[in-house]
Amino acid sequence: MRRKFITNLGFLLFLNLLVKPFWIFGIDRTVQNIVAPGEYGFYFTVLNFTFLFNILLDFGITSFNNRNIAQNNHLLNKHFSGITFLRLFLAVIYFAVIFTVAALIGYDSRHFYFLAFLGINQFLISFILYLRSNISGLLLFKIDSTISVLDRVLMIIFCSILLWGHITTQPFQIIWFVYAQTLAYLLTALIALLIVMKKAAFIRLQWDKAFFISIVRQSFPYAMLVLLMSFYNRIDSVMLERLLPRGIGTTQVDIYAKAFRLLDAVTMIAYLFSVILIPIFARLIKDKSPVEGMVKLSFTIIFTISMIVATTSSFFSNQIMELLYVGQIQEAQKVFVFLIIGFIPISVTYIFGTLLTANGSLKALNIMALTGMVVNFGLNYFLIPPLLAVGSAYASLATQFVTAIIQVAIAQRIFKFTINWKYIFTLLFFAVGVIIINMLISNMVWDWRIAFVVAGLVSVLWAFILRLLSIGGFIRLMKSK
């Protein structure tokens, strides 16, 4: 299992690092820089609003299905038709809810137009993730990895034509960005659907009331978890726009989006760990095999990566913002420092939260997520008016640390891992060392790009010196079964 984890993680990371950085920094960033001020903030706010109710599209079915198919492959044929019909029914509910809530909070006609297309995009994303959960549940990780980047590849093609293809004399419109995403998600969903239909021997959609009730009942705890986590991860920009005066709100969302973009990019790495880990953890737990070794391996790798990325990025935050954007640099830099440090607890969550999900510890996870939502909403409510986007960044960082600590504590209580004090002190020693390395190198008279790379490489070397990473260990792992 460890070899399968490393080889498939490597392939998944390779594909995503090949494609998604260009999408984020080449396309998404370019769009924000060239559209009129506040336009990207408007788009970003409506986008995050659609995320808040995403659970109605899925109802926890994807998380439940990933674990279920990994432990019981034969259920794919039995469940696929019924779950697909159920998801179409949930989509109707989703659109009814988002339009109703949008009307209640005072969205205007332009909000509603964007909401319609972004809602369709959320439906397609949710359906793609469900289809991928079947593929990864069968441990077909290479196919799943390819599907995971297909939508971004298509978006890059479509947006590149719109941005640089000279097919129109009009300035780039933010709605074109939304249209390109819709087309890319639609094509990806069709391809993924054909793959799963072949594996599931799909014949036709079926209405089965008893089956629907059974699936909803089993997936409800997952639904609550996703709903609560969506609120504390995505409500920041919505609260910024709603709590601040008109005009100021969208400007602050613009600033927040600039800082959030890089966090979103690096969080992809931690998310990819969870994609592979949840079926592996589920299989190990079902077979009553020990999970401690896999947890330590995955946590060591992701903690090393997140500590280096977060620390180095925060020390060079001003230069990074100046490189990426035009305008509002100082404001974005302040927000960015707090958001990027949050990558460390977010990475912890993607290991221990995934383990607890695979174990079916949904009650504990839901209590954790409810705590996170209350902390995040409360801090945002009190910090946004005086501190603007920086206040929202404070709230996000605090919430991520609180929820990560709770998940580690829950996992320790359930799995009773051996407490290895030497390992814990090594991690702390590594973290302190990375901070010192960046303090020293960032103050040297170098081109900051060179200093950034050197600080990262020296930090990686520091991880090898402390034997958190080991070339020999990776070689032995690849030779094992």
pLDDT computed for residue 189 by the predictor: 92
How far is CA 321 from its chain centroid? 21
Q: Quick check: helix, strand or coil at residue 170?
A: coil
At position 247, the amino acid (one-letter code) is G
User: How far is the C-alpha of 369 from the C-alpha of 221, rounded, in Å?
Assistant: 12
- Separation CA 192–CA 151 (nearest Å): 11
| Tokens describing residue 208 | 């089965």
Q: Residues 145, 11: contact at Cβ < 8 Å?
A: yes
Residue pLDDT, tens place only, 115-174: 999 999 999 998 898 888 777 666 666 777 788 888 889 999 999 999 888 888 888 889
Q: For residue 309, which of 264, 278, 276 has the smallest C-alpha distance?
A: 264
d(CA 118, CA 143): 27
Instruction: Give the ranges where 360-447 is alpha helix by DSSP (H).
Output: 362-387, 389-415, 421-442
What does pTM read for this prediction? 0.74
Q: Which two tokens stand for residue 364?
A: 């504990």
Predicted confidence at residue 201, as pLDDT, reads 60
Domain ranges within the chain, ordered by starting residue:
21-268+338-418
> What span, in angstroms and rounded, lies between the C-alpha atoms of 166 and 163?
7
Count of helix runs (H) and strand runs (E) in the chain: 20, 0
Cβ-based neighbours of 63, under 8 Å, separated by 6 or more: 133, 219, 222, 225, 226, 278, 357
CA-to-CA separations, 382 to 233, 270, 365, 393, in angstroms, rounded? 17, 30, 26, 12
216 exposure class (CB count in 10 Å sphere: 0-12, 13-18, 19+): middle
Q: Are 260 and 404 in contact (CB under 8 A)?
A: no
- pLDDT tens figures, 419-443: 888 999 999 999 999 999 999 998 8
Residue 220 in contact with residue 159, Cβ under 8 Å? no
pLDDT value at residue 478: 47
Question: Which candidate, 263, 222, 262, 216, places its Cα nearest to that of 353?
Answer: 222
pLDDT value at residue 97: 92
Burial track 6-37 (b if 16+ CB lie within 10 A, e otherwise): bebbeebbebbeebbeebbeebbbebbeebee
DSSP characters for 208-220?
A: -HHHHHHHHHHHH
**Residue among 158, 146, 150 at smallest CA distance from 124:** 150
- Of 15, 16, 7, 11, whose CA–CA distance to 266 is shortest? 16
Nearest to 350 by CA among 425, 263, 268, 257: 268
Residue 360's pLDDT is what?
A: 79
What pLDDT is stored for residue 477 in this prediction? 46
* The two structure tokens encoding residue 429: 């020693």
Residues 6+ apart with CB under 8 A from 480: 2, 3
Q: Which residues of the chain have pLDDT under 70?
A: 1-13, 60, 62-82, 136-141, 199-209, 211-212, 215, 470-481
pLDDT at 202: 55
Q: Are 271 and 347 in contact (CB under 8 A)?
A: no
Cα separation, 264 vs 257, in Å, equals 10
Q: Give the pLDDT of residue 205.
A: 59
**Cα–Cα distance measured from residue 284 to residue 289, given in angstroms and rounded to the nearest whole number:** 5
